[in-house]
Structure 1
């Protein structure tokens, strides 16, 4: 039996992991999906100063107060890029493995917002200013994004639209601070949006991808949507179980 802590990306809460959680628990694992502050059932706790440090503390407190050890720490998108490396950097002795779902660790000093192309950064900043009260990034048009993939159940898309919540923008603009302690841990990258070869090619020239060619990491391809917990939950759970 393994202990999994599952962290969702922007706009989502623990509810997004429900099918994956059920599959893993069916294998006898201890599974802890977590809604970060200001998201999911904790949406009412969102504040303008909810930032990356807040979300790091969420995970640190779960691990410490639940006395979790040998944790398989799973992060999707934003949670993979900046949250799980930060947690592992502070308590590497509690972490057995890091699993990045369609994401990779950003280098020290970089923020999640800086990972996006300049035109996307400008568009997101404008959305925050005009539709997010100056401190929240509204959810994307899920119906439009889902039209690019096949196989997404209608009821899942309805839940996604109904339950996603604005992302506190300070979580995206806070630079990640890492000492390098996390780099000693085993890492698995589950790639959905880009094939392994393309990611490795970008790592050679794009600083944001530089950790994607580190020694000791492994890759698994799961082609599909950026949110595999919705369109391919069974396959994602099987990869995590094998990990």
Structure 2
């Protein structure tokens, strides 16, 4: 049995992982879905604390899985609790350099849209519409309309501090296996970015990194939950 700790991306709570978690549990694994804080004062750093709280030092080290905006948070958590993590998994995401905010990983026109949404709301960024997500490069391919509508209806406002601030990075451990589940991009698109030293990709060039293709949109827990669970299960 392997223990999986699943961390959602922006706007999602732990229930985003329900289908994946149920599949993994049916395979005999233990699963914890982390609830990240969504109070107005929460930040990327407080989200790291949320993940660390889930890494209770009991039993065997876990497979730590971060989706989208949860990926950089998991990278920092794994560096601070290395003894608690056996495998680090990035679902359609990756680590970011020290202090780099999620918004910084977007082109200027997308940053402008995001800042405008935060300013209009006041304390954070509400989940965009399907059309808006497509416009900012977050593919919703494969998600049935009814499922997307339900997800958005239950979505949480992402605190401004989680969008606009980064996390403190430690020293990545080259002995920790790291896997990228590539959904809205292909693994062979990553190598040139690694070679060019593009932030968010540069550190993926080490031998501890592997890539698994799961072609779908950016939200595989909704579009391909069984296939995602199978990929994660194969890492145990």
Does TM-score exceed 0.5, indicating one fold?
yes
Give the alignment of 1:108-123 within 5 angstroms.
Answer: 108-123=98-113
Question: Counterpart in 1 of 2:69?
Answer: 78
Contact 1:107-1:210 at 8 Å conserved across structures? no
Are the structure 2 counterparts of residues 150 and 168 from structure 1 closer, same or farther at C-alpha, using a change threshold of 3 Å?
Answer: closer
Work out which of the residue numbers 180, 187, 199 in structure 2 matches 1:189: 180
Q: Deviation at 1:67?
A: 3.0
Contact 1:97-1:187 at 8 Å conserved across structures? yes
Query: What is the alpha-carbon distance in structure 2 between the residues aligned to residue 59 and residue 117 of structure 1?
Result: 28
Q: Deviation at 1:181?
A: 4.0
Contact 2:140-2:218 at 8 Å conserved across structures? no
Give the alignment of 1:168-179 within 5 angstroms.
Answer: 168-179=159-170
Q: Deviation at 1:145?
A: 5.1
Work out which of the residue numbers 193, 205, 212 in structure 2 matches 1:202: 193
5+ residue gaps, structure 2: none
Are the structure 2 counterparts of residues 118 and 154 from structure 1 closer, same or farther at C-alpha, using a change threshold of 3 Å?
Answer: closer
Q: Deviation at 1:202?
A: 1.8
Work out which of the residue numbers 38, 43, 57 in structure 2 matches 1:51: 43
Indicate whether 1:159 and 2:150 are aligned: yes
Indicate whether 1:141 and 2:129 are aligned: yes
Query: What is the alpha-carbon distance in structure 2 between the residues aligned to residue 119 and residue 150 of structure 1?
Result: 22
The superposition leaves residues 54-85 of structure 1 with CA deviations (integer Å, 9 ceiling, x where unpaired) of: 11111111222x735311000001111x1111
Are the structure 2 counterparts of residues 150 and 108 from structure 1 closer, same or farther at C-alpha, using a change threshold of 3 Å?
Answer: closer
- Higher-helix-fraction structure: 1
Q: CA RMSD in A?
A: 1.8
**TM-score (structure 1 length as normaliser):** 0.88
Query: What is the alpha-carbon distance in structure 2 between the residues aligned to residue 220 and residue 35 of structure 1?
Result: 26
Query: What is the alpha-carbon distance in structure 2 between the residues aligned to residue 68 and residue 165 of structure 1?
Result: 32
Question: Counterpart in 1 of 2:26?
Answer: 26
Query: What is the alpha-carbon distance in structure 1 between the residues aligned to residue 201 and residue 232 of structure 2?
Result: 23
Indicate whether 1:8 and 2:17 are aligned: no
5+ residue gaps, structure 1: 39-45
Query: What is the alpha-carbon distance in structure 2 between the residues aligned to residue 202 and residue 120 of structure 1?
Result: 20
- 174-183 vs 97-106, greater mean Cα deviation: 174-183
- 218-227 vs 202-211, greater mean Cα deviation: 202-211
The superposition leaves residues 134-176 of structure 1 with CA deviations (integer Å, 9 ceiling, x where unpaired) of: x201101036658x76643344223212111110010122222
Contact 1:63-1:69 at 8 Å conserved across structures? no
Q: Secondary structure at the match of 1:84?
A: helix
